[in-house]
Amino acid sequence: MEIIKTPIEGLVIIKPRVFADARGFFYESYNEKTYREAGIDLHFCQDNKSKSSYGVVRGLHYQLNPQSQSKLVSAVQGAVWDVAVDLRKDSPTFGQWYGVELSEENHLQFLIPQGFAHGFSVLTETAVFAYKCDNLYSPTLERGIMYNDPALSIDWKISADKAIISDKDTKHPLLKDAELNF
């Protein structure tokens, strides 16, 4: 397994060791001991999966403390453009975002620590997306930031006229008006 650092402290891309041959492939998608030895010492307690069509944008979502969530995410089928936004007020990269393509071909994982908003757009006909979370979902502490906040200028890698957004995600505030406690 290879840990790839990003320009934002705490955000890392994980490239698993993939064993491939004529039959297909195998890789270990998570091993607590291996991850801990690599400096990722999280206890995951909830797994989620979603399936979405091309153009769907989900996000930007986060939970407030004390139920903030770290997420280990990957694309099981298809491809997504995955984005994390730093919401840690004292961070030198507060308000900055980083994106990475996750796909069934590249097998990459993206580790998003607590204190970040998260979202993704679907780049293929469909995508199945997996999340491991280190805190349980809490509807009362769930928050969001507008996916197209001009201050963030996120490139979702799809044209705006093709974007499919849930009603809920169109009502999030801009980052400057968001409730944060990180």
Q: Return d(Cα 174, Cα 157) in angstroms, integer.
A: 20
**For the residues 49-69, what does the mean pLDDT come to?**
98
Q: Return d(Cα 139, Cα 165) in angstroms, integer.
A: 19
Cα–Cα–Cα angle for 134, 137, 141, rounded to 5 degrees: 110
Extents of the domains making up the chain: 43-177
Maximum C-alpha span of the chain: 53
Judged by DSSP in three states, 3 sits in strand
- Please name the residue that has the structure tokens 């801990």: 36
The band of 74, judged by pLDDT with boundaries at 50, 70 and 90, is: very high
Q: What is the pLDDT of residue 121?
A: 98
Tens digits of residue pLDDT in 126-168: 999 999 999 999 999 999 999 999 999 999 999 999 999 999 9
- Active-site residue 131, yes or no? yes
Q: What is the pLDDT of residue 13?
A: 98
**For the residues 40-59, what does the mean pLDDT come to?**
97
- Please name the residue that has the structure tokens 């955000």: 11
CA nearest neighbour of 10 among 90, 95, 86, 81: 86
**For the residues 67-72, what does the mean pLDDT come to?**
98
The catalytically annotated residue of 30, 43, 54, 131 is: 131
Q: 83 with 144: CB under 8 angstroms?
A: no
The catalytically annotated residue of 61, 107, 118, 172 is: 61
Q: Which two tokens stand for residue 40?
A: 């990722």
Altogether, the residues listed in the chain come to a count of: 182
- Say if residue 158 is exposed, middle or buried (CB neighbours under 10 Å; 0-12, 13-18, 19+): middle
Q: What is the pLDDT of residue 134?
A: 98
- Active-site residue 43, yes or no? no
Superfamily for domain range 43-177: Jelly Rolls (2.60.120.10)
Q: Return d(Cα 137, Cα 117) in angstroms, integer.
A: 14
